[in-house]
Amino acid sequence: MTALDRKLIHDFRRLWAQALAIALVLACGVAILLTTFGTFVSLEETRSAYYERNRFADVFADASRAPRWLMQEVREIDGVRAADARISQFAVLDVPEQQKAVTARILSLPARGTPRLNLPLLQAGRLPSPDAANEVAVNAPFAEASHLRPGDTFHANLNGYRRELTLTGTLLSPEFIYTIGPGALMPDNETFGVLWMPEIAVAAAFDMEGAFNNLSLKLTRGASREDVIDRLDDLLDPYGGMGAYDRDVQQSNSFIESELAQLRTSAMILPPIFYAISAFLVAMVMSRIIALERSEIGLLKAIGYSDVEICAHYLLLAVLIALSGTLIGWAAGTWLARALARLYAQFFDFPYLIYNLDYTAYALSGLLAIASAAMGAARSALRAARLPPAVAMAPPAPPRFKRTLLDRAMSALRLSQPVVMILRSLLRWPLRSGLTALGLALAVAVLVATSFFPAALDVLVSTTFDRSSRQDAMLLFDPDIPETALAEVARLPGVMRAEGQQFQSAVLRHGHREKDVAIEARRPGADLAQILASDGRAVDPPAQGLMLSRRLARQLEARPGDLVEVEFLSGINETHLVPVAGLVTQYIGLGAYMDQGTLSRLLRQAPRISVANLQVDPLALPQLHRVLKDTPELSGLIDMTRMQRSFEATIRQNVDIMTTIYLTVAVLITVGVAYNGARIQLSERARELASLRILGFSRGEVSFILVGETMLLALLAQPLGWLLGAGIAKALADGSASDLYEIPLVLKPAGFALASLVVLAAALVSSLVVRRRLDRLDLVKVMKTRE
């Protein structure tokens, strides 16, 4: 081991506290990169393997009633590799020990063999016998939530007939990784399930012999999805086709894709912040070390060490710090990535988890850590290598200062000497002061950026449940029923008010842009389900025209007054030009609204409803559920109160976890910047501070100089941190937006105040830790050191 090697180890041990502070900041970047990248890779590979092994379809389509012989023409479409037709219906279940009515989607199983596409994976028991009329399999999460096992029985309302069904097995399907019921916002396995029944039984129950209403296609490699969808729409149009769509907008896959997009956004935005701060901290420390070791550098060069060896020595010191942070980050990131991947696997109902955080992620995070530390140390290491021995062994030339206008201003203000010393230090080293303030500003920014999530959740919940969807329950009808049936709905037990609403599938086109949506139609004066204008006011649907959510309007590049082409996908299948009457506020889903009378006139039919919104007496809910279980026309029930509680609990839990993580991260950044800054100040100004003690200044006054400079920089960093945090929050909000939901950007003063208080408190604690070293200063020894 050479003398330089021993010196390297000695320096690293001597600087362990500063090295640890930098390493922890660097570890945050490594851990976040590994966590986001590892979770992304695990989810992506698990999804891909599941889709491939269980033959998840590429294109889906629904129709009212299409004949089976049409499948021959479907399979002959250019680019179609496989096609699978089935019957899909909704029903209400009566599950033992379940007071509430349960909504279920029933899917038919082929009479022979297994489905060609969307192959369900057996978890327990067996599949129903092909010729059994009363045997079903259900999705495993629903069976678990309802405490159902193979052999148990329950009842279902199938097209108006109550039938006892026997459970034969539980399944998982790639089509229902994220299992969400019609009109719901979150999965609720207690009130929504998926049932698989033999095709013969489903066809007989719903009068679908020789017909199908749901279609899945698998395409050949390189096939044009747009061409296949267009051709499929042409074939299904005479049979009530509702518009084919690809897997990108399939409900379950869309939710997974949104989560993957958020992970990508986090991986791109957050880790670079930590790597940049680490590079700055390394630059601060290395610059001071080299300034203090000028004479040692001169001696090393005088006895024969080359410029390259000197430069490599200081770069290796930075690399050791980076390696320490990398190892800590690898350990934390591996644990977090595994935990988060398992959580996602359970949340998304995957049958297995492929955890594949390969060496590429570790290598990338480690190389970025080493590169950031090396970049921070490079300038100082090169400066050390270029020092001639004679110059290095001599004290550095004192810096040249001159009185400026600010000096005169400080004199005129009669500031105390400690305050003048603090201000002069900041003004005479502007680059270092600016970088320190930037590091503290980034800590503030991290907290500001994450504090908007709780505020955004409050706005989203308030807008969605308290102002827009104010109903206690929603009754779903498939097919639509006449609006006159609302009178019967109003007479149901406990119903205090009932309002109708119709959903109509359509394609909206504006120029070259188009979007598949469900147009919501309601009567003027509706109170339980309101439309909110851009300014937050409740408004009625226009008598003529269409109201669009701001997000949908942006996607269509449509503004109020523009004409939008509306192609209805069911009923008469006609296309109309409709003006955009205004924009509305909607955070969940893509909203398009129309007056009930206008929609009925365009469809040339008597007013109908797809949903009945109810205001219900809570005491009468049990009786209402008993009646609904035997209501023939009902295809589903949504308990909005239960949905709101579930939505808030799930989202708040995720927000609390995320806030805790980023609070820890912000504190680590602050400690790393403030502690290293204070240590460097102490090493540079030890002689000054000792002189002040000898001249009679108290410990408090001397400590004020050390602590005051750090705290002043922390205060100056706040406005920049607020601005950066708002920018990061906007990037995170924009990156999470999708067709499914949009997170509103809500920045409240309390969030800025909390971020500032946390950073200022952490900076104060860090500088007070360094301040304790003042009490241990040997004044005589310090005064003997050379300037």
The predicted-structure confidence for 391-443, as pLDDT tens digits, reads as follows: 666 666 666 666 666 666 766 666 766 777 777 777 777 777 787 888 788 88
Alpha carbon distance 235, 225 (integer Å) = 15
Residue 674 vs residue 717, higher pLDDT = 717
Q: Are 144 and 21 in contact (CB under 8 A)?
A: no
Mean per-residue pLDDT, 682-708: 70
Lowest-confidence pick of 470-479, 549-558, 721-730: 470-479
Percent of the chain as helix, strand, coil, to the nearest 5: 55, 20, 25
Strand 102-109 to 135-139 pairing? unpaired
Identify residue 608 by its one-letter amino acid code: R
The token duo for 431 is 């680059």
Confidence of residue 153 (pLDDT cuts 50, 70, 90): very high
Lowest-confidence pick of 138-152, 179-193, 490-504, 654-668: 654-668
* Domains of the chain: residue spans and CATH: 1-57+247-394 (no CATH), 88-207 (no CATH), 405-471+641-787 (no CATH), 495-616 (2.40.40)
User: 44-88, pLDDT tens digit by residue?
Assistant: 888 899 999 999 999 999 888 899 999 999 999 999 999 999 999
CA 711 to each of CA 733, 757, 762, 765: distance values in angstroms, whole numbers, following the listed order: 32, 12, 10, 10
Lowest-confidence pick of 267-276, 365-374, 587-596, 708-717: 267-276
Of these ranges, 11-20, 466-475, 733-742, the one predicted with the greatest mean pLDDT is 466-475
Q: Give me the pLDDT at residue 88, please.
A: 92
Q: What is the pTM of this model?
A: 0.73
Q: What share of the chain in percent tops pLDDT 90?
A: 15
Alpha carbon distance 531, 499 (integer Å) = 14
Q: Are 490 and 609 in contact (CB under 8 A)?
A: no
Residue 280 C-alpha from the chain's centroid: 29
Mean per-residue pLDDT, 226-247: 87
Identify residue 554 by its one-letter amino acid code: R
